[in-house]
A and B are shown apart, each in its own frame.
Chain A
Amino acid sequence: MTCNLVRARLFEYLDGELPGEQRPAVDDHLRTCLECQHALELEQAFREIYMVPLRPDQTPDAVRGRVAHLVVGLTESRRARWARRFRRRPIVSAAVAALVLAVSASTLVLTSARREASASLLRLADASVEQHQKLARGLLPFDIARMSPREAEQWFGNKLDFNVRLPELKDENLTFLGGRISHLRDIDVAALEYRVDEKNVTLFIMPAEQYRKLGLLSEPKFKMVNRQGYDVIVWSAHGAAYALVSEIGGRSCAVCHSAEEKLDVTLTPQAHGAR
């Protein structure tokens, strides 16, 4: 493949849209051609610096609240009908309202706190999935590669001000591809990319304080959610917080656990005792 052909395909290559049979040829060319490698890096830098900041911001709370109100109104028509009936009978309505208030007041604070914790967890999971997709598609270059876990720990230790401990490579089907300092919800984190059974798995390590801010219950230890088809497991240990993103269910456990450990690899919520 010639340089011109590779440059002409650069957008599709970085978009992850190059037909499968053409990708290896571009990969081969990029390994040997410094000029095309440079062009690729410039394009990646351009996207990272100028395009990524244009990605959607969080919707203002007031707008989000009104949207939630609208959606609830649309989808809970039966409840709305009941509310309308009660509005026509003020005495009954007042009695029911008093009863509902009495029952719900005691649980309101707790429910609200749990809802916020759940929303925080989902926001973290969404940000992790987005970064994982970029890493898996090669849109974000690695800062380090071909290092042992201990060397990588030392490298991150010099760059980040929290405890970064990498798991040992306990499984022969597990390969450490590389790592970089990434940004998850404006926080500098260590992003580590692994290959397990021909699929990419990303482990994010972040300050323990980020985990505390989620406001989650202490049990179960491993919180797990599925976002956009990816399993995201979040937990805290060794003075840091972790988020593991994969699309291979329980096989991603190989990043932290050896094959000898008897794990339930079906990755149901029960596998890690998550709720």
Chain B
Amino acid sequence: MDAPADFRELALKYTDSLYNYARILTRSETEAEDLLQETLLRAYRGRSSLDPELNPKAWLLKIMKHSHIDRCRRKLARPIEAELPEEATDSSLPLNPEEILLRRLAIEDVRNAIRRLPSVWREAVELRDIEGLSYQEIAHVIDKPIGTVMSRLYRGRNLLRSFLQGHHAIEPRRARDL
């Protein structure tokens, strides 16, 4: 993609998704806007690397993720990567959400529950259930095989349901844990 007009269209088309993901990553509207602008700058400079076979949204989100990691490093506050086993599948069945539906939770409770997830599982859930990426696109963003994406998504969704069922208290983590 070399034409400036193409880049302009791409950037404006995905502004909502990018800004939303930036808010998820930074938890701050001001920092989210900075991260969004930095992402677009990097994307424009690296636009020749965009694979035409790839969803441009996944490409932009990956640039945003790396920009965020770099910003955190610059602030000497590296994002915490939980060390979790990476099994391809989980032998347990998905938790039945009936009880959660009956609880009539507020959306803010769901947001808080997602924030409580270990970071690598949370990332998979956010990219799939909020950003709507395919497994293949998530694999591209997080640089992991599809099996890992499926495992993280499965475990993340099940733990999220467990939080929402009230088996764990739903409270936001402290800022340093986010």
Contacts and interface: CB of A to CB of B under 8 A. Distances in A.
Contacts of A43: 94, 97
Nearest to A69: B37
A258 to B, nearest CB: 36
A98 interface: no
Interface stretch (B14-22, B78-86, B169-177): B14-22
Interface of B: 4-5, 7-8, 11-12, 15-17, 19-21, 33, 36-37, 40-41, 44, 89, 93-94, 96-98, 100-101, 105, 107, 110-111, 114, 128-132, 134-135, 150, 153-154, 157, 161, 164
B5 A68 contact: no
B130 A71 contact: no
Given A67-B11, A71-B12, A74-B41, A54 B97 contact: no
B153 A71 contact: no
Q: Give the size range of A's interface with the partner.
A: 35 or more
Contacts of A218: none
B97 A42 contact: yes
A50 B11 contact: no
27 contacts: A4-B93, A8-B93, A11-B153, A11-B154, A11-B157, A17-B134, A42-B97, A42-B98, A42-B101, A45-B97, A46-B101, A47-B129, A50-B107, A50-B164, A51-B110, A51-B130, A54-B111, A54-B114, A55-B132, A57-B16, A59-B16, A71-B40, A74-B44, A75-B5, A75-B7, A76-B4, A130-B132
A7 to B, nearest CB: 5
Given A10-B94, A45-B101, A75 B15 contact: no
B142 to A, nearest CB: 16
B2 to A, nearest CB: 11
A58 interface: yes
Contacts of A74: 4, 7, 40-41, 44
Given A7-B94, A58-B16, A75 B8 contact: yes
Contacts of B157: 11
A34 interface: no
Contact of B12 (A42, A46, A57, A68): A68
Given A49-B101, A75-B4, A75-B44, A67 B134 contact: no
Contact of B150 (A12, A53, A58): A12
A180 to B, nearest CB: 19
Contacts of A58: 16
A247 to B, nearest CB: 15
A66 B33 contact: yes
Given A12-B150, A54-B111, A46 B97 contact: yes
Nearest to B114: A54
Nearest to B21: A56
Given A17-B135, A46-B97, A74-B40, A53 B7 contact: no
A55 B130 CA distance: 5
Contacts of B20: 55-57, 59
Nearest to A58: B16
- List the 5 closest A-B pairs by CB distance, nearest first: A75-B4, A56-B20, A46-B97, A59-B19, A56-B16
A7 B93 contact: yes
Given A7-B93, A15-B135, A59-B19, A67 B37 contact: yes
Interface in A67-121: 67-68, 70-72, 74-76
Contacts of A47: 129
A52 B35 CA distance: 24
A146 interface: no
The CB with the most chain B CB atoms within 10 A, among A17, A51, A57, A59, is that of A59
A64 B132 contact: no
A79 B17 CA distance: 29
The CB with the most chain B CB atoms within 10 A, among A15, A43, A47, A50, is that of A50
Contacts of A59: 15-16, 19-20
Given A68-B12, A71-B11, A56 B19 contact: yes
Contacts of A50: 100, 105, 107, 110, 164
